[in-house]
Copies of this chain bind each other. A is one copy, B any other.
Amino acid sequence: MKNIDFRKVNINDGFWKAKQDMCKEVTAKAVFDRFTDTYRFAALKCTWKEGDEEKAKPHFFWDSDVAKWIEGVAYILERYPMPELEAACDEAIDDIVKNADENGYFNSYFLIFSEKKFSNRDRHELYCLGHLIEAAIAYKRATGKDKLLRAMCKYTDYVIKVFKEENSAGFATPGHPELELALIKLYKETGEKKYADLSKHFIDLHGANDKDGDRLWWAANGNYNQDEMPLRARSTADGHAVRALYLLSGMADVAAEYNDKELLDACKRCFDNIASSRMYITGGVGSSPHGEAFTVDYDLPNRTAYTETCAAIALVFFCHRMFEATGEAKYQDVLERALYNGVLSGISMDGKSFFYENPLAIDLTFNDVDKAVTEKRRYPITQRLEVFGCSCCPPNMVRFIPSVGNYVFSEDEDTVYINQYMGCEAEVGGETVRVKTAYPADGAVKVEYTGGKKLAIRIPYWCKSFSLNCEYELKNGYAYINSDKAELNLDMPVRVIAANRRVHENTGRVAVMRGPVVYCAEGVDNKANVHSVLLDISAKFTLGEGEFLLPELKTVAYLPKVSDELYFEAGDEFTETPLTLIPYYAFANRGESDMIVWIPKK
């Protein structure tokens, strides 16, 4: 099973065209401006000194922010010239290459402060390198310029020397994973096996070495860095969610590259653990703000949901790799769940601002009540911001959206797979595939393919009935056809969803989905307080126009009786109240507002 690279997939219509246009026209420049304001580009010049402006003092993870932004700009440059941003990339790359030390090492913070390199596992040096490698590959592919790539190869060679040959670093494995998956990309780009071998080296040693720098961290932080056991022994996703999922992506890469069944099995178990018990209905993962972490099965609180945007993106990365390794549709199902919900909620509809955390409920009335005295119950922010102190999510979106075409097609020897529906024209094995669809606005998908392979069209998990205007064989979540034209119609009724009863937070509550899209009720659309309404599970919904790319949903919900009493006999008196729902990804685009996904049942 081979993925069709997004560079061969021209998204030319519909939902994702709109998102890609926004990213190209607004987001890339907006993030550039905020990173300029916050000295992230200036840091690369490595000139900051004591006495200079304190705000401009580099942080050890800043380089990764710029790297992800360069990677994203490179993806846009594949199709569109952006001279201003390309020049900014070139300048940043010049700074990096110029200021790298004699070994090729580069981290603006460490170079400026002359901290001891590779001594503290949590200082993100290898994480930054991973993102710089991904940026370097992307930029070379898009522009042909390989200056950064050559520099990063040199740096990586130095890492091989320090971590493998000399074993002279203070720790054995990256504290924040990312390099693992980047190294496999680098191997594929350069053909140099040593880079894949380094990735395998880290995967082998992670949780399975007695280097002080690894052990200390583990002792102090539990499973935060996924250190508590060798990776091949893992069965659950634990600790910092982004770290866990970048690491699982690297594991899946290494498993595929080295045909490592034991490692792949560990990946499968961890995926199943996430999909069956540690994932919000939005595909958001990492329910706890403490450690930005996975916790235990079925612990999915709504108001305090952390569900970092980067974690949802990382879940897409992991699912994508697992599908490639197995061909199983369940990975596409979870990928789709994250794609349309937990990922997209991370960016505003105008493309300028971002959620780091993506709560599943906002209750403004009670959001701040505990700040009165000394502490405060911790709730996520209620409005997106343009930049964060730790601003990993915005540039992750800059690289994710332009490369979303990655998730449309795969192929194997005799079949072309259509995994996700986006209006596009793609080149597969020298032939053309065309997909026409407004998905997920509706479930109609037209496919044309001129090549000689079979087509396998995914029937998503949420779809209980569909029609296809040609013969097909249904196998493992895909409809296999031999026709070179097909019209698929996925019935897309509004569905009322329950959670597994072990999710105590949602006992007696339901959520609303249409197709792959989770809906929410926002205060701004609804006269009744959305935290008081009850929903009948047999409610009828009508589709309204909607200002956020997809239809809004309208239904009649129920309000318990109004009373001045605090407690009274429960009864069956309700008043009907109109209820409008919008796609979850679009919440918080019209000022602060109450929001609810899991609505109590009538």
Q: B-contacting residues of A (Cβ < 8 Å)?
A: 221-224, 239, 275-277, 279, 281, 288, 290-291, 293, 295-296, 298-299, 301, 304, 363, 365-366, 369-377, 495-504, 507-511, 529, 531-534, 537, 559-572, 600-602
Contact = CB atoms under 8 A, between A and B. Distances in A.
* Copies of the protein in its oligomer: 2
B222 A600 contact: no
A533 B507 CA distance: 8
B566 A377 contact: no
The CB with the most chain B CB atoms within 10 A, among A366, A497, A562, A602, is that of A366
Contacts of A275: 566
A277 B567 CA distance: 10
A575 to B, nearest CB: 10
A239 B474 CA distance: 64
Given A290-B376, A504-B531, 19 more contacts: A221-B374, A239-B372, A275-B566, A276-B564, A281-B566, A281-B567, A290-B371, A290-B373, A291-B374, A293-B373, A296-B365, A296-B366, A298-B365, A498-B570, A500-B563, A500-B566, A500-B567, A508-B602, A570-B601
A218 to B, nearest CB: 12
A566 B330 CA distance: 13
Q: Is the interface of A mostly helix, strand, loop or mixed?
A: loop
A295 B365 CA distance: 11
Nearest to A594: B504
B567 A290 contact: no
A372 B279 CA distance: 18
A563 B506 CA distance: 14
A496 B572 CA distance: 12
A568 B498 contact: yes
A288 B375 CA distance: 10
Contacts of A377: 288, 290, 304
Nearest to A224: B373
Contacts of A563: 500-501
A300 to B, nearest CB: 9
A276 B288 CA distance: 34
A567 B507 contact: no
Which of A293, A529, A567 has the most C-beta atoms of chain B within 10 angstroms of its own C-beta? A567
A602 to B, nearest CB: 8
Given A279-B566, A601-B601, A507 B532 contact: yes
Contact of A565 (B500, B507, B564): B500
A503 B221 CA distance: 37
A277 B222 CA distance: 42
A547 to B, nearest CB: 27
Contact of A498 (B295, B299, B501, B560): B560
Contact of A222 (B363, B365, B372): B372
6 contacts: A222-B372, A276-B566, A295-B366, A498-B570, A500-B564, A507-B532
A496 B568 CA distance: 8
B508 A600 contact: yes
B288 A501 contact: no
Contacts of A298: 365-366
Given A365-B298, A537-B571, A572-B537, A532 B501 contact: yes
Contacts of A373: 221-222, 224, 239, 288, 290-291, 293
Please list the 7 inter-chain residue pairs (A to B) with the smallest Cβ-Cβ separation, ordered nearest first.
A508-B600, A291-B373, A504-B531, A295-B369, A498-B570, A501-B532, A501-B560
